[in-house]
Chains A and B, each alone.
Chain A
Amino acid sequence: MASHGIRDRVAIVGMGCTPFGEHWDKGLDDLIVEASGDAFTSAGVTKDEVDAYWFGTAQSGMSGITLARPLQLQNKPVTRVENYCTTGSEALRAAAYAVASGAYDIGMAVGAEKVKDSGYQGLNAAGPPSDGTARTLTAAAMFSMVAPAYAEKYGVDEDQMTDVLAAISVKNHYNGARNPRAQFRREITKETVLASPRVAGRLGVFDCAGVADGAAAAIVVRAEDALRYTDKPLYIKALSFAAGSGSGLIDPGYDYTHFPECEAAAADAYAQAGITDPRRQLAFAEVHDCFTPTELVLMEDLGFAARGTAWKEVLAGTFDLHGELPINPDGGLKSFGHPVGASGLRMFFECWLQLRGEATAERQIDNGRTLALTHNLGGYPGEMVSFVSVVGTERD
């Protein structure tokens, strides 16, 4: 067993990201063309110069042709990637590894999702034919079970838990209000969160990520070639991935207060990147805040807070935009919505802007640190996949 990683062997040299939102006037192809075009321009390469493509989409199309057709790629190796909500991140992981292997000089990851054409609220995945015995809950319901379990285990009372979850939502909307690409660009108050209609368990609409269309793209090259394309490349320090066995659903030992797959992915990423104290070494982190309790638990799974203490740190403002470790400075899934194939790459895009000093001034983080983390999860508590990356501006 080994996870060597590719620390400082591959760099991101160009990125693009569309605004996320209800793009009634744009189809999947439009989103792909826009995000990809921005990335080509950003890196100063043409589509023909890119040697290989990975296209992440969960439900908007099948096969590499979904990307090759709108971009008119001629007989390029184009691979469609799907891995639940980590899909976009997985496209980048594949492209980076292919470049690191020496198989290609320039690789590109594109993630896109057209969600708002379905006519339904939330995300809807039609599974394969089945025996009809698997649960048919919404993700909101599955993640809503985390809140009471966490509160019970750590003695957080009802009012405190309400404050904690609302604070996470308020913070992410505060950040999103400062981001022109976000779907929701208004600050909200705790009262707004509490007054929102219930969706599942104690979770209301404002505890849940939005639903949006969007696309994002990244171009990667060997680290030693990076400065040919940009003065400020992002070096990949770690890419880790963990797929759970699904046994959390049927293992009486699982208590719904942590996500073991995320802990495993984080541990691997920190080992690859040589990170020993993430809370003090990272400039910020982009995490998968699909629901407010998810972000709460992730603060502990990712090692930003000790077990049972994240709720206090949330209330203390540790993870606020200018707190000790800013979390989701771009507004997160909460403000962006969650076009599944694009979300992971959208997180990289925030690293691209922030670490290069190109974020809008009102949300630019300047704490002197050069590393950032992105995290995705897909699935449900007990049955989850998780991705963690670390990128940085310095090559060791």
Chain B
Amino acid sequence: MPGAPGSGEVVRGIVSAGAYVPRARLRRSEVAEFLGSGGGKGARAVASHDEDTTTMGMEAARTALRAAPAAAVDALWFATASPAYLDKTNATAVHAALRLPADVPALDFGGALRSGIGALSSSLRSATTTLVVMADQRDGLPGGADESAGGDAAAALVLGEDSPGAPVVAQFLGGASATDEFLDRWRAPGEHRSKAWEERFGETRYLPLGLDVWVRALKAAGIEAGEVDHLVVTGMHSRASKALVSRLGKLGLHPDVAADDLSGSVGQAGTAHPGLVLASVLETAGPGETVVVLHLADGADGLVFRTTDAISDWSPVRTVAAQIESGAALPYGKFLAWRGMLNPEPPRRPEPQRVSAPAAWRSEDWKFGFVGSRDRTSGALHMPPARVSMKGGAVDDMEPAAMADLIGTVVTFTVDRLAYSPSPPIVFAVVDFEGGGRFPLELTDVDAEAVHIGDRVEMTFRRLFSADGIHDYFWKGRPAAVSGAPAPQS
């Protein structure tokens, strides 16, 4: 067992965590109402038409970093089984949006449902301060089990050594891993639909793998089963996960330590899920509590943590619980349209042109970071950044003005029913930011009828549209603190 905080030994673990659960919820009962079968109980989270794994990952990363502002990240690892791009690294957009320095590498862990937990455990065994971002968007055919059981979400963890400004809130005690080549779940590249072998086969493989890893992880951490305060078991094979929890109950695990796996409220968010449930557990954990994470995917991975005193002072601005609470119902038809399963009549307007690569590169700070410029003399704020001031005669005398984390107020707004949008209508508002600056921007995660002059909005990183396979990432506004507010009744 590694040294405890204050023992003089290097303490490594989780410095901060953040999660993102998109606002839209598909009530599973709606599936059966529509199709006559399928669906189930509870709800699943659904990425909006302007979200993907990159934007969700970015939102989770923002939350994690805001709760640990002194953490100096020196690597960004992004894991997803639903990448927005292949060949091109997706982590670089997150890197740009977070405005991380160029010498911080941004790398993708791609493709497999195991890549999230893999990035997490690799980082814990490295010497860097790593921001591990895990995001996933789970699809399935209409009425199928995957469509209902899946969920869209992201999680981000800052992993590194304990330091005065950025203390470890959950120390890594040890872990174990087991790898096995067998066919449980697979998906051909380009397909949205996963396929799975007969459920019983996977269960008979995962159960012994999970038990083996459990025993070895606890041993590596130097703890007994009875010391475990929180058990997080995740994986797309929910039957195997349940069976494992049940078996561990007979092996010395205290009852009721199994954490809510959020399958009823968010759905199984694949690659992101272990991070999501872990973040959720940490948000309510007190100091000195032991947390075990077990993820079942093509083998098993287990990680053991113990929360430190520092966790008392750690509080993410957007908790998982608050985000789950603030969901808004999405009609099943809209869900199908957003997932490309239904093709509604598009607006009779030309589709947008693809983004120019050099133009996007030149404006990286603006486009990805939402950084304007402020005239040093007049204070006039320019969005996008400008060289010549709109007030006074200053030329090339501006400083960067980071706007992404500021709150704005709606000055006036409109609803455009004609303009092109992947999901019309467009709600558009002129927004004045606290501390100065105005920008006309699109609102998202908002009901067109519920917008008023004077509403407060916060910025969120989104995908405006895609053309020629190029995703146009930029910022939109959304009602401030929409996460944490009571859920709108639908």
What is the interface of chain A, defined by CB distance below 8 A to chain B? 120-122, 124, 126-127, 129-133, 135-138, 140-142, 144-145, 148-149, 152, 198-201, 245, 247, 249-252, 254, 256, 382
Contacts and interface: CB of A to CB of B under 8 A. Distances in A.
B356 A130 contact: yes
B480 to A, nearest CB: 18
B188 interface: no
B423 interface: no
A200 B380 CA distance: 31
B464 interface: yes
Nearest to A257: B412
B440 interface: yes
B32 interface: no
Contact of B412 (A126, A132, A149, A250): A149
Contact of A250 (B359, B362, B381, B474): B381
B428 A141 contact: yes
A250 B440 CA distance: 7
Given A120-B350, A135-B440, A138-B419, 10 more contacts: A130-B356, A132-B352, A136-B419, A141-B428, A144-B414, A148-B453, A199-B418, A245-B390, A250-B438, A251-B390
Contacts of B438: 249-252, 254
A200 B352 contact: no
Contacts of A133: 363, 366-367, 384, 474
A250 to B, nearest CB: 5
A127 B380 CA distance: 27
Nearest to B362: A131
Contact of A201 (B348, B390, B415): B415
B384 A256 contact: no
A369 to B, nearest CB: 37
Nearest to A246: B390
B395 to A, nearest CB: 14
B330 interface: no
A253 to B, nearest CB: 9
B383 interface: yes
Q: Interface majority SS on A: helix, strand, loop or mixed?
A: loop
Contacts of A120: 348-350
A142 B430 CA distance: 10
Interface string B416-445: 111110000010101010001111111000
B355 A132 contact: yes
Contacts of B417: 198-200
A137 to B, nearest CB: 5
Contacts of B415: 141, 198, 200-201
A2 to B, nearest CB: 20
Contacts, number: 117
B353 A250 contact: no
B363 A135 contact: no
Given A120-B348, A148-B412, A256 B430 contact: yes
B360 interface: yes
Nearest to B416: A141
Interface in B328-382: 348-350, 352-353, 355-356, 359-360, 362-363, 366-367, 380-382
A250 B382 contact: yes
A150 to B, nearest CB: 10
Contact of A131 (B360, B414, B432): B360
Interface residues of B, number: 45
Contacts of B412: 145, 148-149, 256
A144 B419 CA distance: 13
B367 A127 contact: no
27 contacts: A120-B350, A122-B349, A126-B350, A126-B353, A130-B353, A131-B355, A131-B362, A131-B366, A132-B359, A132-B472, A133-B366, A135-B428, A135-B441, A137-B416, A138-B349, A141-B414, A141-B415, A141-B418, A145-B414, A148-B412, A200-B414, A200-B419, A249-B439, A250-B390, A250-B437, A252-B411, A382-B440
Interface in B149-177: none
A296 to B, nearest CB: 15
Contacts of B366: 131, 133
Given A132-B355, A200-B417, A250 B426 contact: no
Contacts of B426: 137, 141
Contacts of A152: 453
B314 interface: no
A291 to B, nearest CB: 11
Contact of A145 (B350, B355, B363, B430): B430
Contacts of B418: 121-122, 138, 140-141, 199-200
A130 B355 contact: yes
Nearest to A247: B390
Contacts of A250: 381-383, 390, 437-439
Contacts of B473: 132
Nearest to A127: B353
A176 to B, nearest CB: 23
B52 to A, nearest CB: 15
A294 to B, nearest CB: 14
A137 B390 contact: no
B322 to A, nearest CB: 30
Most chain-A Cβ atoms within 10 A of its Cβ — which of B417, B473, B474? B417
A140 B414 CA distance: 10
A183 B160 CA distance: 70
A201 B414 contact: yes
A120 B418 CA distance: 11
B390 to A, nearest CB: 4
Contacts of B390: 245, 247, 250-251
A145 B415 CA distance: 9
The winner among B362, B412, B437, B464 for most chain A CB atoms within 10 A is B412
A144 B428 CA distance: 11
A122 B417 CA distance: 12
B13 to A, nearest CB: 39
Central interface residue in A121, A131, A135, A144, by most chain B CB within 10 Å? A131
A132 B438 CA distance: 19
A198 B424 CA distance: 13
Contact of B419 (A131, A137, A149): A137
Interface in B399-416: 411-416
A131 B366 CA distance: 10
Contacts of B441: 135
A131 B417 CA distance: 24
A240 B396 CA distance: 31
A131 B349 contact: no
Nearest to A143: B414
Nearest to A203: B414
B414 to A, nearest CB: 4
Contacts of A145: 412-414, 430
A132 to B, nearest CB: 4
Nearest to B388: A245
A149 B381 CA distance: 23
Contact of B442 (A135, A140, A201, A245): A135
Contacts of B356: 129-132
Most buried by B among A133, A249, A254, A382: A133
B155 to A, nearest CB: 28
B320 to A, nearest CB: 31
Contacts of B453: 148, 152
B416 A138 contact: yes
